Structure 1
């Protein structure tokens, strides 16, 4: 199936990307030049101590707790140091992730530096205030050819858009695989931690400026990485109701009930508006068989798999 592209298949069957944002408490971004191997940390000249640290953390910590990613932008790289960025999720009501950015002179010092911070139980004390947005676009073509075909083209488009805009607080990065290559070109927008799918110049401008037709989110939004999949479905519904202003709200979730039998969930989403008032919404998130699809979910796949799609039922907002 050399001519098969999973991203094209996903578009053709009209798969809804919502509920497909990965959920991590901590993202560790390490600046490292391309090309990357299929397993990014097997790339040429990645220090052995960094590989060992990632393997150790992967073994000891929940795989849904932390992820290490390689990032690169030739125009942003400094010749005398490697940039390391840690995004981590605080507790309670939040708009996204907190940030720590470091410049480390020697790539061999990245691992011991990360150990110092990641094993500190009070990571909060290192928080840095920043207005910078970091947008990560997957171009990891050695992992999946959709990210090569669609991701690389869009990465160049995104850089050009930023270069021709007044948005000097936005940085664009290539990033190694973070899941969801069938949604290529796919991206994560930090510090929010929101995931996007099937981006083009028009939808990217909407995300950058938070203007335009909010209903585009029904096609390009994978979900908010601070929320589990079922709550991501509800959160998009709230976007449709509150518009772009929703991006300024803080949120926190609660799973009231989960059924293994039919994969349904009763969920609650608390949110604080910019005027300081609080509210919450409650709804049932259920499988919608009329929208669910069968597809081959990655380019090297052989057999189609059932992909459930979800709907929001019994929604009630309490303000």
Structure 2
């Protein structure tokens, strides 16, 4: 029996996980019963019209990430929930805007999503509640690390949220979104920040934005609104500014890069809640050992 787990190997090696938060402007989460296939949208509960839409979007090379969510037992819905997160428009951003729809069945998902993607107003009205949605990968049929580390952490995270009485925070089980060797791994919306190697203490700090900010050196994978090559710069600024950084609006761009991307000149601008604006320039050199 193969007992090797890449996540354990990564932790033992002290691998730096920054720069692994994939960069997408749009995420679409569809509630779907488990079990899921290794390729989530080939699962038996996915109707043909939704499979066709996902394939069409992929072929068109639109930067849209489709993922599944297991039904949330703590907040059940009669039907199928769809969560769409679109990156905030404008030069500076704090993350994503949420659009939440409750549909009668999963067969209706493709039509609503297609309307949304072409810029039409979907036939159903969105939910208007403000929530914080944390997606934990538990997709064991894709990679065993996601089940081995993701499922226990999902239960622990749910218990912590209940203990802290954070009624606006929802914990979800999600299909695979990359980084199984960093399991347990999660995405925190609406900010769109990726985390890995999580435990109870670091999760409490992330939830409450208190405690030692240095834990981000270990668990922060990066911010999805930024190119992966710039995420290490954002982490350094986070460590410099502390938890206040999470209230800043940010924009980042690559000014210049070498032909093989081994050296990058990057610019990151942030705006504080009191409207102070700071711009940072950095030269980033690729670690050839990674």
Given the two structures, how large is their TM-score scaled by the length of structure 1?
A: 0.86
Q: Distance in 2 between matches of 1:262 and 1:152?
A: 37
**Cα RMSD, aligned residues only:** 1.7
Contact 1:99 1:129 in 2 (8 A): no
Aligned partner of 2:95 in structure 1 is 96
Deviations 1:156-191 (A, max 9, x none): 001111112221110000000000000000000000
Distance 1:121 1:144, change over 3 A: same
Asked if residue 215 in structure 1 is aligned to residue 214 in structure 2, the reply is yes
The Cα of 1:122 is off from its aligned counterpart by 8.4
Aligned partner of 1:172 in structure 2 is 171
Aligned partner of 1:312 in structure 2 is none
Q: Distance in 1 between matches of 2:275 and 2:286?
A: 34
Q: Superposed, which structure 2 residues align to 1:53-202 within 5 Å?
A: 53-62=53-62, 65-72=63-70, 73-78=72-77, 80-91=78-89, 92-120=91-119, 130-202=129-201
The Cα of 1:288 is off from its aligned counterpart by 3.5
Aligned partner of 2:29 in structure 1 is 29
Q: Distance in 2 between matches of 1:122 and 1:268?
A: 36
The Cα of 1:81 is off from its aligned counterpart by 1.5
Contact 1:83 1:104 in 2 (8 A): yes
Aligned partner of 1:14 in structure 2 is 14
Q: What SS does the aligned partner of 1:54 have?
A: helix
Q: Distance in 2 between matches of 1:104 and 1:52?
A: 19
Q: Distance in 2 between matches of 1:83 and 1:250?
A: 29
Contact 2:101 2:127 in 1 (8 A): no
The Cα of 1:254 is off from its aligned counterpart by 1.6
Q: Distance in 1 between matches of 2:161 and 2:172?
A: 12
Q: What SS does the aligned partner of 2:139 have?
A: coil
Contact 1:17 1:220 in 2 (8 A): yes
Contact 1:69 1:178 in 2 (8 A): yes
Distance 1:180 1:114, change over 3 A: same
Given the two structures, how large is their TM-score scaled by the length of structure 2?
A: 0.94
The Cα of 1:128 is off from its aligned counterpart by 7.0
Deviations 1:204-242 (A, max 9, x none): 000000000000000000000000112111000001110
Q: Distance in 1 between matches of 2:86 and 2:135?
A: 16
Q: Distance in 1 between matches of 2:132 and 2:196?
A: 18
The Cα of 1:45 is off from its aligned counterpart by 2.3
The count of corresponding residues between Structure 1 and Structure 2 is 286
The Cα of 1:12 is off from its aligned counterpart by 1.4
Gaps of 5+ in 2: none
Q: Distance in 1 between matches of 2:259 and 2:16?
A: 22
Deviations 1:249-278 (A, max 9, x none): 000012111113461111000110011111
Aligned partner of 2:47 in structure 1 is 47
Distance 1:242 1:129, change over 3 A: farther
Asked if residue 236 in structure 1 is aligned to residue 235 in structure 2, the reply is yes
